Chains A and B, each alone.
Chain A
Amino acid sequence: MRINIILEVYKFKVKAFFGALRASRASLALLLVYTLGFIPSVIGFSMSITNAVKQGNINLELYAELLVAIVSALILFVIMLALRGYAVFEYEQNFIFTSPIQPREFLMASMFADFTASLIFVNPVFIFYAIIVLSLGLKFHLALLMLLAILIFIFMLFFLKTSLSIIKILYEGLLINSIILALAFIFLLPALRLLVDFPLKFSSLPYPSTFLAKILLDIIFNEEPQMSNFLGLIFYFSLVFLLFIFASGKNFFPLSKYIPFVSPFDTSMRMQTLKMKKSIKIFSRISLFFQLNLKSRSLLLFLMRKEIIRIMREGSLFAIILLYLIAALISISVRQASQPPQVSSFFPLTLLVGIYSLIVPLMLVSNWRSSEFENLWIPLTSGVDVRTVVRALLYDFILISSAIPALLILILSIFSNTNPISSLILIVSTSMIGCSVNLYVMINFIGKKRRGTPTLLIGWVSLSLSALLLAPTYLSIVLSVYLELGDLVAILLSAAMLIYSALIMRYFLRKMEKSVTNIEI
């Protein structure tokens, strides 16, 4: 193996991964969110563990079982990832695989690059580690052993994923798939312990996760870890390493699959667009019955029909229906489980609808961006009044984001014999405000100057603004439920909320109509 080649490829890959950070200042904000976002919860979680250890009220057996389950779930996840086969980025296939690099050199560089990149995402583990070590005053050599065990495990996961995914493409077939699935099943059982209480104690079985869990628990209690546990972990590591030596000796380059380059800091819409293309292939087949034809009399209705066809054929409609069906199922189960009945038997559904109705406009608008951004040149160069295009879009979004939950609520209200008015008001209000705010924000971010902004950040801006503007609606619904207002007051309040929502929608529609004429692509 040539170390200089490995180093060059490693540097190249790390630069490619983090390179997108330079594209936009918003990406730096995203990086901060990634790195700092988990810190409060990690601090809280580690403090609760250290407090429990200090006070001595800890069920060690239960902790061991849970830790084994969590670690097994991680291994299971890695095995499942291997099922898709060894995949590389398009640029790696085109530029690196066509150079005289050896497969093992590439794999070593890749693994260290992945490790470097993952440091950002697994930083909570190291923060957790630091708090545990400092707070429990662990002996220095024990702290080192703990770090060593964690690192052995992390590298074992990397070797396992790489080896299995290469073996998968080298020996493609039923046998290898069955072996990988059987392996996954072995780790599924202890992982299921997180959900179901099994009579079997997995912490007494020789899983690699058991060895790691026992080492960590021993050290947390400031005790010397048992040598057998360390040997067990090293045995599994060696086994996986041997598998890696075998897999990396094969020329898997021609068999590897390529995926378009994606970095979490990549500000382009390529990945969403590619996913959208996949969805279109699936959902278009089942929605071709609804066609765009010459029959529509007005341009607005024609454009609305075209957008509904898009929403159906790209799968957004299906996702929304699924989302509300889940909401309905949850609310039905909450109702059945609540003893005695809550303030209003319809309240859980109203609450869920309130949350989902904020997400649905964001989903509709984000999907529109992924699917239609590249096609915007068509209306923009056609001479059509683009304000009509925006209006058609907004009306469709409001129609879809309100009609589906409204139908669901009406059906449920008939079965449960309850008054659906407050839920319906909430839906119409969130649809009008949510859709207009989301679309306005998105239109302001698709021009040339702000195109680099990640969709996630646009989503946060839209959600925050929508939630702020919807606060009066939420407040009025909660008040009307808890204060049990009279019918007349409730109706007046609902009417006021509808007028308020319509005014907000009108305001943002006007602003959108102005912004859209200035779009440069």
Chain B
Amino acid sequence: MNPIVELIDVWKSYDGTQALRGLNLEVYRGEIFGLLGPNGAGKTTTLKIIVGLLKMDKGIVKVNGIDVSEEPYEYKKLIGYVPETVSLPDYLTVEEFLIYSGKIREVPNEQIKERMNYFIRLFELGEKRKSLIISLSRGMRQKVAITSALIHDPDLLILDEPFIGIDPMGQHIIKDLFNERVKDGKTIFVSTHMLDTAERLCNRVAIIHKGQNVASGDLKNLQQLSRSGENATLEEVFLRLTEEAEK
């Protein structure tokens, strides 16, 4: 099976820090993939390189088989992205922003309307539809950002800490949404610190530490790799693997 995201020996340094040191990673179609790692491990840098916000120093990144260095625009039509710190144009209303997100991705008007209405209903944003984004709470902004990332129905959804600031009901809705999308053959690539959420949500995870892939696979693979026993939680596996990598 061809991976939808493939990183081969990716290196990146900035501000005097070596953020990625030959990172290798594969994410397959139809899975929820979790990228885990301690602070400063290179998770956000990895996601930013995939979505084209950062350029790598060395290596190959392929999305759906397309080398992102050679074709920096086309592949982005396949992805939806939600950054860790969501900044949205405060001067637009929720509806205007979603129209803007759809238009720049060349989504036909009818589909923009249809998907916008669907997600506004799903995330209970109806009352805020005509409100300026500046008036929204952090959780609502996050929901608007997720909606904008889904407005073109992307094959690959990339999210950096998507649950921060969202209430439990909202988190539940988003997790259900992810599971539904995966059933339709779409892929979710999520970076998170919330290990219990990752354990329940993700089909496979990768643990990165100091810019390198320490281990990847499903929980069973990781339990074997870390020799932490078959009852070990993802948190225990994570701690063991990162400690070993530190040595």
Contact = CB atoms under 8 A, between A and B. Distances in A.
A270 to B, nearest CB: 12
B52 interface: yes
A314 B91 contact: yes
Interface stretch (B32-40, B77-85, B174-182): B77-85
B21 interface: no
B103 A299 contact: yes
Contacts of B14: 448
B81 A381 contact: yes
Contacts of B103: 294, 296, 299, 302
B104 A375 contact: no
B146 to A, nearest CB: 13
A378 interface: yes
A284 B51 CA distance: 32
B142 to A, nearest CB: 14
Interface string A306-324: 1001100110000000000
A235 interface: no
B90 interface: yes
Sorting the interface of chain B by its residue count into under 10, 10 to 19, 20 to 34 or 35 or more gives: 35 or more
Interface stretch (B3-11, B22-30, B105-113, B215-223): B105-113
Contact of A284 (B74, B91, B100, B104): B91
Given A284-B132, A517-B72, A377 B81 contact: yes
A90 interface: no
Interface string B65-88: 000000011111101010100011
23 contacts: A280-B91, A284-B91, A292-B96, A292-B99, A294-B103, A302-B103, A313-B91, A371-B89, A375-B88, A375-B89, A377-B53, A377-B81, A377-B83, A378-B100, A378-B101, A378-B148, A381-B51, A383-B76, A383-B105, A384-B73, A448-B54, A517-B72, A520-B54
A71 B64 CA distance: 71
Interface of A: 277, 280-281, 284, 288, 291-294, 296, 299, 302-303, 306, 309-310, 313-314, 371-372, 374-375, 377-385, 448, 517-518, 520-521
Contact of A294 (B81, B106, B109, B148): B109
A11 B105 CA distance: 52
A379 B88 CA distance: 11
B92 interface: yes
The listed residue with most A CB atoms (<10 A of its CB), out of B54, B77, B91, B106, is: B91
A384 B104 contact: yes
A518 B55 contact: yes
What secondary structure prevails in chain B residues at the interface with A? mixed
A385 B55 CA distance: 17
Given A314-B91, A382-B101, A520-B53, A291 B96 contact: yes
B194 interface: no
Given A294-B113, A378-B101, A521-B53, 17 more contacts: A281-B134, A284-B91, A284-B132, A288-B93, A291-B93, A292-B92, A292-B99, A293-B99, A299-B103, A306-B100, A309-B92, A378-B89, A378-B100, A381-B53, A381-B76, A382-B105, A384-B105
A185 B112 CA distance: 59
A134 to B, nearest CB: 48
Contacts of B81: 377, 381
B159 to A, nearest CB: 12
Interface in B111-139: 112-113, 132, 134
Contacts of A448: 14-15, 54
A448 B48 CA distance: 13
A381 B109 contact: no
Contacts of A381: 51-53, 76, 79, 81
Interface string B164-204: 00000000000000000000000000000000000000000
A379 B89 contact: no
A381 B109 CA distance: 20
A374 B89 CA distance: 9
Nearest to B87: A374
Nearest to A295: B109
Nearest to B78: A383
9 nearest interchain CB pairs? A383-B76, A374-B87, A313-B91, A292-B96, A384-B104, A294-B109, A383-B77, A381-B51, A381-B81
